[in-house]
């Protein structure tokens, strides 16, 4: 397509420039029933999986239908979402903090037609466009990241494994049979964009090889002290390197036995790439939560040291997650989050019940705090 | 990497218009970046900023933190943006011939 100007003048970039206007104010987009009853809600109920009702002091009701969102979506799909909102909800809708979509209506008789419409819509390949669910004690959407779609530091993909995992867990998106809700998150490298460090189950991209050094360009492209300071284990030091043609350049030397493949140095220095087809894969973590309900928030812990990247369906990863959820569902008490359950029965029982291998990789060895994760008591089960 | 010509000199640049090596910087480069960054006229304040960045980079091997740049030049961040509309990283560091900023930018 030929160039079409928006009116921006590259010769005078600061002319007519609008800046620091911030986001649109949220209340511009409230449905009328939300605007009217804001701050005056009495109670809510989950009528069925994916459907909530909130009742206000005035007696007004708002029915919310939550549907799975794929997060990465085309404008075409957003337009379809808008069409649905125009048809059933006077043009209003919202997205949740887990990237689900919520359609709100102000009377009960509008709910079933909305659900029927949403559930009838499918992609050509057969998958639901707007599956209703994600409420209560089930599995809701997977908070995830960019993967091989857009980022330069991933050790695995995001959209692919998320689709594979949600397909396996789909029944629990549409049901509320678990002891408590199970939050699954994914991050494609251990920058951990998102929520992997605080989720019931977390999928994390992991490298197993040290960076490859591009000595010829390193000093030109990188601020060497930054790369050295980026290493959590001090595996890097400055040094001179002789190139094949005999010239001596400033560069970085890697002490490989100290490197644990975090990739931080590559984040700071483009001349230290470390992604590797066979080396890269997935770590599974479990037992995190952010709410204060009963127990304090928890970090998730590493429970599987490595699964390979099995494109496009990641079967070992999805089987492991499915199995963990089944064992948790059968064994945990009502309201018990996965981490609370594992801590109550003891992590040795967790590994036994979930039939997970306990390998030396799972034992913390990072600085002084590692010591506090070892067992300084005789209290354990055989 | 692509090359650009300016004032009879040839520069190798990356896709964001940063120079391939600090050693290849010269005054023509400053003029080239001035145009690309939409700067009308180079003032003493522009040159002072470039000078501070270069001195710091030669001495420390890194670009200064924004707070240090402000403190040494005496220019508040707001003024640095008035001088370099793209900011201290994409504007001033590019003009000074420093490597492209990295990390979660
Ligand atoms: C290497 C540093 C980081 C980079 C390069 C980065 C970049 C990005 C980008 C480009 C996106 C996609 C935004 C979009 O879809 O328009 C994203 C999404 C996201 N990032 Fe980061 N980010 C970084 C660090 C973090 C950190 C430290 C956190 C959390 C503590 C975080 C949380 C998130 C979340 C929750 C999303 C998903 C948002 C959504 O649902 O669209 N990011 N990140
Ligand atoms: C006192 C007020 C509130 C409390 C105690 C509360 C509590 C909670 C808790 C415990 C969770 C589950 C977090 C987790 O462990 O994963 C949650 C999730 C959530 N909350 Fe709240 N919340 C409050 C107010 C709100 C408000 C005002 C909104 C929105 C208007 C909201 C929207 C959400 C959403 C969208 C989720 C995630 C649901 C999903 O997509 O799965 N919350 N909240
Ligand atoms: S988790 Fe890592 S690889 Fe994934 S989007 Fe974030 S920085 Fe990129
Ligand atoms: S990958 Fe991580 S541990 Fe290894 S050298 Fe780079 S920063 Fe250090």
Instruction: Decide if the complex's ipTM is over 0.85.
Output: yes
Among A103, A122, A123, residue whose Cα is nearest residue A113: A103
| Residues having CB within 6 Å of any atom of ligand 1 | A 71, 99, 146, 191, 193-194; B 104
Helix (H, G, I), strand (E, B) or coil at B57: helix
B93 is catalytic: no
Among A187, A161, A200, A179, residue whose Cα is nearest residue A288: A200
Which 8-state DSSP code applies to residue A368?
G
Cβ neighbours of B99 in A, within 8 Å: 220-223
CA distance A72 to chain B (A): 20
Angstrom distance (rounded) from CA A67 to CA A173: 10
How many contacts, defined by CB atoms under 8 Å, are there between A and B? 37
CB-CB under 8 Å, A10 with B100: no
Range list of β-strands (E), chain B: 3-6, 9-12
Angstrom distance (rounded) from CA B85 to CA B78: 10
Preceding amide of A280 cis, omega within 30: no
CB-CB under 8 Å, B20 with A269: no
Angstrom distance (rounded) from CA A295 to CA A218: 48
Interface of A to B at Cβ within 8 Å reads: 10-14, 191, 220-226, 267-270
Angstrom distance (rounded) from CA A153 to CA A294: 37
Neighbouring residues of A129: CB distance < 8 A, sequence distance ≥ 6 = A77, A80, A118, A121, A122, A123
Angstrom distance (rounded) from CA A282 to CA A202: 10
Angstrom distance (rounded) from CA B96 to CA B91: 9
Would you say A86 and A51 are in contact if contact means Cβ atoms under 8 Å apart? no
pLDDT by residue for chain A (382 residues), tens only, comes to 799 999 999 888 999 999 999 999 999 999 999 999 999 999 999 999 999 999 999 999 999 999 999 999 999 999 999 999 999 999 999 999 999 999 999 999 999 999 999 999 999 999 999 999 999 999 999 999 999 999 999 999 999 999 999 999 999 999 999 999 999 999 999 999 999 999 999 999 999 999 999 999 999 999 999 999 999 999 999 999 999 999 999 999 999 999 999 999 999 999 999 999 999 999 999 999 999 999 999 999 999 999 999 999 999 999 999 999 999 999 999 999 999 999 999 999 999 999 999 999 999 999 999 999 999 999 999 9
CA distance A234 to chain B (A): 18
Give the angle B77-B83-B87 at the CA atoms, nearest 5°. Answer: 55
Which residue's CA is the closest to the ligand 4 atom numbered 6?
A: A265
Among B16, B69, B4, residue whose Cα is nearest residue A221: B16
Taking the model in full, what pTM does it have? 0.85
User: Quick one: how far is CA A161 from the chain centroid?
Assistant: 11
């Amino acid at each position: 397509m030929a160039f079409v100007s928006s009116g921006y003048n590259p010769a005078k970039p600061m002319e007519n420039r609008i800046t620091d206007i911030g986001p649109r104010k949220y209340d511009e987009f409230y449905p009328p029933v939300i605007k009217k009853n804001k701050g005056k809600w009495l109670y809510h109920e989950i009528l069925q999986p994916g459907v909530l009702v909130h009742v206000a002091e005035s007696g007004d009701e708002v029915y919310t239908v939550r549907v799975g969102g794929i997060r990465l979506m085309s404008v075409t799909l957003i337009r379809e979402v808008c069409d649905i909102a125009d048809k059933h909800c006077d043009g209003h809708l919202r997205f949740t903090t887990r990237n689900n979509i919520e359609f709100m209506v102000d009377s009960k008789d509008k709910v079933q037609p909305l659900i029927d419409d949403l559930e009838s819509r499918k992609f050509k390949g057969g998958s639901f466009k707007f599956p209703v669910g994600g409420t209560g004690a089930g599995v809701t959407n997977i908070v995830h990241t960019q993967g091989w779609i857009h980022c330069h530091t991933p050790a695995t993909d995001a959209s692919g494994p998320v689709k594979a995992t949600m397909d396996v867990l789909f029944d629990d998106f549409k049901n509320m049979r678990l002891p408590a809700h199970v939050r699954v998150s994914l991050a494609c490298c251990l920058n951990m964009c998102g929520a992997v460090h605080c989720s019931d189950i977390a999928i994390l991209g992991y490298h197993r090889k040290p960076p490859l050094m591009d000595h010829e360009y390193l000093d030109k492209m990188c601020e060497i002290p930054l790369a050295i300071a980026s290493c959590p284990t001090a595996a890097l030091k400055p040094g001179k390197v002789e190139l094949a043609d005999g010239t001596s350049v400033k560069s970085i030397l890697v002490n490989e036995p100290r490197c644990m493949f975090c990739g931080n140095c590559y984040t700071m220095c483009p001349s230290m790439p470390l992604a590797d087809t066979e080396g890269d894969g997935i770590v599974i973590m479990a037992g995190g939560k952010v709410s204060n309900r009963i127990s304090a928030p928890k970090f998730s812990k590493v429970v599987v040291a490595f699964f390979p990247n099995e494109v496009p369906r990641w079967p070992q990863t999805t089987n492991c997650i499915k199995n963990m959820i089944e064992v948790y569902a059968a064994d945990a008490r009502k309201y018990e989050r996965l981490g609370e359950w594992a801590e109550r029965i003891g992590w040795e029982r967790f590994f036994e019940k979930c039939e997970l291998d306990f390998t030396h990789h799972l034992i913390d060895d990072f600085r002084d705090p590692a010591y506090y994760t070892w067992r300084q008591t005789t209290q354990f089960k055989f | 990497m692509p090359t650009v010509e300016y004032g009879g000199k040839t520069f190798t640049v990356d896709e964001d218009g940063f120079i391939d090596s600090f050693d290849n910087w010269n005054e023509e480069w400053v003029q080239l970046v001035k145009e690309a960054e939409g700067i009308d006229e180079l003032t003493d304040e522009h040159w002072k900023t470039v000078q501070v960045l270069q001195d710091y980079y030669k001495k420390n091997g890194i670009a200064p933190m924004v707070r240090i740049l402000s403190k040494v030049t005496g220019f508040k961040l707001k003024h640095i943006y008035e001088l370099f509309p793209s900011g201290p990283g994409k504007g001033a560091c590019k003009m000074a011939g420093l490597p492209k900023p990295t990390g979660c930018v």
